[in-house]
Structure 1
Amino acid sequence: MVEEEDQLRPLLKAELEVVREWRNHPDVRRYMYTQHEIGAAEHRAWFERTQQDPNRHLLLYLRQGIPMGFANISIVNVPARRAEWGFYLAPDSLPGSGQRLGHATLAYAFETLGLHKLCGEALAFNTRSVRFHERLGFTREATLRDHHFDGNAFHDVIGFGLLASDRTAREGAKIS
């Protein structure tokens, strides 16, 4: 359930630096596929590229008007209404912000974008992200063995999927 004090809206160019700071924080960066520090020019170029793609949705999550997190939805198959997502929180976000960002992003994905399926991935050692997906109702659909190489070691990746019908059934069960 999305709380009234939560807001999820498109990321603005003026907010790029704060999101880059979050992304470069060691507690965020260590769970990313690309673990180098992102420079300002690289970050701006990424933002400009995404702005040209109508299937990319860069979203800022605000709680009580304060930026607390970022979510990225990429529609990868338009006819099938299937997308992939990624997200991270500000390192100093308020407790509970992750679940709230998750629910707000799922509402956006399924209610605003009309998706049929949302997919996500987590490095297997990122147990918080694995549990997060499961608490949101995602189904573990794959374990991709030694799928990611971070420059030093190979890591398994867990693949998740959430269907709109699963979310609807889950939300209905909460109301009953």
Structure 2
Amino acid sequence: MLRPATEADKELVRVWRNHPEVQAVSLQQEEITPEMHERWWAAVQQDPSRQVLVYERRGEPAGVVNFFDITAEGSSPRSAMWGYYLDNEGLGGALLPAWMQIQREGVRYAFEELGLEVLEGEVLDHNEAVRSMNRRSGFTEVESYEREIGGRPTLVHRIRRTRDQQKA
């Protein structure tokens, strides 16, 4: 289940994002300090082009789905970027089923609740597990580019899925 993130979720979101396994596959790999997180959180609350949702598994908070650059209603095509991560520490052996469920629920939310026509994201080249899961979930790698991440040139793939693929 996805629900809007609340003030009570704020620190969980930061702790989960700072997990070393999450950092290793993120576009920004530096640790998120409480001050950085506070600024980001405040900005998100005021920005209609962003939504932060908490993924719950068995009634407990277990992950985050971020939608950003959400185009305004009436735009065509209506689109957004997204990213998501889990509570790697707390999920233990349930990590793979949780990854599959958070992605499925995020995609459903994007097309059914936000009314998007196009959903895009970015994934690091070395994150083969997620790249493979993206392909199985109907995402296509539409562009690749090199970006400095952690002081090193890193290949990043932009992924895309459309509403039409959602109905298939």
Q: TM-score, normalised by structure 2?
A: 0.91
Letter in structure 2 aligned against 1:84: M
Aligned partner of 2:151 in structure 1 is 152
Asked whether 1:99 is paired with 2:104, we answer no
Aligned partner of 1:138 in structure 2 is 139
**101-110 vs 33-42, which moves further:** 33-42
Q: In 1, distance between residues paired with 2:21 and 2:87?
A: 10
CA RMSD of aligned residues (A): 1.2
Aligned partner of 2:113 in structure 1 is 112
Which 5+ residue runs of structure 2 have no aligned equivalent? none
The alpha carbon displacement at 1:97 in A equals 0.2
Q: In 1, distance between residues paired with 2:39 and 2:153?
A: 29
**23-32 vs 76-85, which moves further:** 76-85
Aligned partner of 2:55 in structure 1 is 61
How many residue pairs match? The answer is: 161
Aligned partner of 1:83 in structure 2 is 80
Q: What is the identity percentage for the equivalent residue pairs of Structure 1 and Structure 2?
A: 34
- Contact persistence 2:69–2:81 (CA under 8 A): yes
Q: In 1, distance between residues paired with 2:150 and 2:129?
A: 23
The alpha carbon displacement at 1:76 in A equals 4.2
Q: In 2, distance between residues paired with 1:34 and 1:59?
A: 20
Q: In 2, distance between residues paired with 1:166 and 1:33?
A: 26
Q: In 1, distance between residues paired with 2:129 and 2:148?
A: 20
The alpha carbon displacement at 1:151 in A equals 3.9
Which 5+ residue runs of structure 1 have no aligned equivalent? 1-6, 170-176
